[in-house]
Chains A and B, each alone.
Chain A
Amino acid sequence: ADDSRIGLVPGGPHPYFAAWDQAAKDAAKDFGLSGADYKVPQKWELSQQNQLLESMLSQGYNGFLIFPGDSVGTVSTVSEIVGNGAPVVTGAGCLKDPSEAAFCLGTDTGNSAYLGTQELLKILGPGKRIAHFTGFLVDPNTQLRIDAVAKAAKEGGATVVQVIADIDAPEPAEEKINAYLAAHAGEVDGIVTTAWVPAVVAANALRKIGDKRIKMVGIDHDEVVLKAIKDGFVSGTMLQNPYGQGYIGAFALDKLRKGCTVKADAPFKSNALTAKFIDSGTIYVAADKVDSYVDAMREKTKTLLASFGDTYLACP
């Protein structure tokens, strides 16, 4: 409606969310919102995000797409926001049930890691050894990813020989991943990365040692990773759909403000965190699709949007 002011708030500054900015602008135009803004906490800090959200509420924003800074810690903030009459949808990451968020629109982090590992094993064949590079341990998703990779490896008859975590910053990531490859390159056949920075750094590291024997599956759409795929140093990457999250999230929030409600019998999926999960799309991109993945994502967004209202919302 014309009085909807939607805020799109990630957990902190990160290139992944850049697409939300465009999505917000497009949504405001396409759906006739009075405003949709992408606002970024200055740091990846729960308290900073909370403060930003509180401030936006004071400024009159009345619908929020939020990437929860913490899947449990943000529950309380969300319920405060909802208590003030502003609907909340979580995007890219979910809140742990129970929460007052309408639903979660994102990538199933665990499943994505699971699928990515499967893709890797498809390339490697059975009985191989893989390493897993991932992000901060304080992020509960990290544990989900570790478990998912382990599960896929077990099913595929591979062994996870090493997990390196807490490398969401480029410097330690570079140091640890390189050190690992320097010492153990011969003892590992594949690498799966489930966080942005490790994917970038590992792609560069493989390029550096020029070893195409080790196969790698990355995550997200960083240019370095995409280029490494083209050049053959990385086999593929698990892409998510940030633009779709932002665009559809804004659409749904506007509807919710107009009096729509979430259907009780909607075909939500469930993941490790919530039973109200909607998959915004995950695709595996290998060298053949590097140039066309954007179209694929657009397509996915379009189909999701077309049926979204009917599938998930009950409108007066």
Chain B
Amino acid sequence: MTIDEAPAGAPARAARSRREPRPGFWLTNEFGLLALILLFGLLFATLANGFLSPFNLFALGRTAAVNIVIGLSMMAVIVTGGLNLAVGAIGVSAAMACGYGVETLGLPWPLGLLGGLGLGAALGFVNGWTVVRTGLHSFIITLATMSIFFGAMIFLTRAESFRQLPPAFAAFGRAKLGGTVSPLLLVTIAVMLALVYLYRFTALGREMLAAGARPEAAELSGIRVGRVFVLCHVLSGLLAGVAALMLVARNGAAIPSMAGQLGQDWLLPAFLGPVLGGTLLNGGKVSVIGTALGALLVTMLTSGLLLLQLGEFWIQSFLGLLLLLAVLIDKARRSYLARRNLA
């Protein structure tokens, strides 16, 4: 095979002609979100009493930590151009499995955690396998499995919570590092690092992106698209499990209602993070940092608005308006920069 013997001059030219310019860091979604977070953070710090109080920062970080992982769980499937309506149902199932393992079976808690995560991944596998095998859209499959998983959980637990967990659980959820940082935030950061590694530095992560962007092309390039899609769902299930276990720590118990009826309460945070973070809904592009910043932004807006004490029934309207304002500011920044870049 002579393929490797490129003409002598080529590599030198390659180096010259391609000084990879960072495609405008200032134009990225991540920068935009960061700017918005700083902007609104400053605004709330001056307007809202107690926004910067240690307890509020702690609570903010803890809520954001869980929302970020929920968002990442959805992101893992959005990569394929699909979605996972069952994130909440899987999450609750995983949490209840952990609670059952620890409380009823008397397993040591690390095994209980593993059991919960394992169930999350397994349910994700069921979703992925069904989607790939039937060729139906993941929307409809996960809509059905959402009912099935959640129903099975309710049936088996009779909606009873598990609260005889080791005190370490609740202590972990309530601990404050340095007065303001929740250890849950550290878990989230670890998860983010792992995902960045996956999508940036592994063949599997790249295959997920390529398969998601254009399955036909990926298939013709030797990627086993079906298998990769199943893995995306498994990853999603696993992350849903992580988020749920974080909530178990936060609530000090595994409770069936922690994600609401059918686990639907998770859907909003699940979509908000990725979508604001620049993950394409038709697949093939992700941003782990963006998802995290998106989730953080929304959590912060909510917290700030609550502190501002605007008419209690109107808060949701204001949240919507702020969200709209945020994306508009971002849009304006982008078109401003784009114009300047060209001039």
- Determine if chain A interacts with chain B: yes
Residues in A whose Cβ lies below 8 Å from that of B50: 58-60
- Is B20 engaged at the interface, CB distance under 8 Å to the other chain? no
Q: Could you give, for residues 259-303 of chain B, a 1 whenever the CB lies within 8 Å of some chain A CB and a 0 otherwise?
A: 011000100000000000000000000000000000000000011
Whether A47 pairs with B265 at a CB distance below 8 angstroms is yes
Whether B59 pairs with A73 at a CB distance below 8 angstroms is no
- Is A274 engaged at the interface, CB distance under 8 Å to the other chain? no
User: How many chain A residues touch the partner (CB < 8 A)?
Assistant: 41
Residues in B whose Cβ lies below 8 Å from that of A71: 161
Q: Could you give, for residues 123-151 of chain A, a 1 whenever the CB lies within 8 Å of some chain B CB and a 0 otherwise?
A: 00000000000001111101100000000
- Is A55 engaged at the interface, CB distance under 8 Å to the other chain? yes
Question: Complex formed: what's the CA distance from A51 to B161 in Å?
Answer: 21
**Interface majority SS (helix, strand, loop, mixed), chain B:** helix
Q: Which of B56, B154, B174, B260 contacts A55 (CB 8 A)?
A: B56
User: What is the size category of the interface that chain B forms with chain A?
Assistant: 35 or more
Question: Complex formed: what's the CA distance from A44 to B264 in Å?
Answer: 11
Number of A-B pairs whose CB atoms are under 8 Å? 110
Residues in B whose Cβ lies below 8 Å from that of A56: 306
User: Given A42-B316, A58-B307, A72–B253 Cβ distance below 8 Å?
Assistant: yes
- Shortest beta-carbon distance, A256 to chain B, in Å? 21
- Is B205 engaged at the interface, CB distance under 8 Å to the other chain? no
User: Given A70-B257, A139-B159, A40–B251 Cβ distance below 8 Å?
Assistant: no
Residues in A whose Cβ lies below 8 Å from that of B253: 72-73, 75-76
- Is B26 engaged at the interface, CB distance under 8 Å to the other chain? no
Residues in B whose Cβ lies below 8 Å from that of A190: none
Residues in A whose Cβ lies below 8 Å from that of B51: 58
- Is B335 engaged at the interface, CB distance under 8 Å to the other chain? no
Whether A13 pairs with B313 at a CB distance below 8 angstroms is yes
Residues in A whose Cβ lies below 8 Å from that of B257: 46, 69-70, 73, 136, 138-140
Question: Complex formed: what's the CA distance from A24 to B176 in Å?
Answer: 33
- Is A231 engaged at the interface, CB distance under 8 Å to the other chain? no
Q: Which of B49, B66, B161, B302 contacts A59 (CB 8 A)?
A: B49
Whether B161 pairs with A73 at a CB distance below 8 angstroms is yes
- Is B28 engaged at the interface, CB distance under 8 Å to the other chain? no
Q: Knowing that A40-B312, A59-B49, A70-B161 are A-B contacts, what are 20 other residue pairs whose CB atoms are under 8 Å apart, sorted by A's residue number?
A: A37-B312, A42-B316, A45-B260, A50-B63, A54-B56, A54-B59, A55-B303, A58-B53, A58-B56, A59-B309, A70-B255, A72-B251, A72-B255, A73-B251, A73-B255, A75-B163, A75-B251, A138-B256, A143-B158, A143-B160
Chain B residues near A (Cβ < 8 Å): 49-51, 53, 55-56, 59, 63, 66, 154, 158-161, 163, 170, 173-174, 250-253, 255-258, 260-261, 265, 302-303, 306-307, 309, 312-313, 315-316, 319
Can you give 5 A-B contacts (C-beta < 8 A)? A58-B56, A69-B257, A72-B161, A75-B251, A77-B251
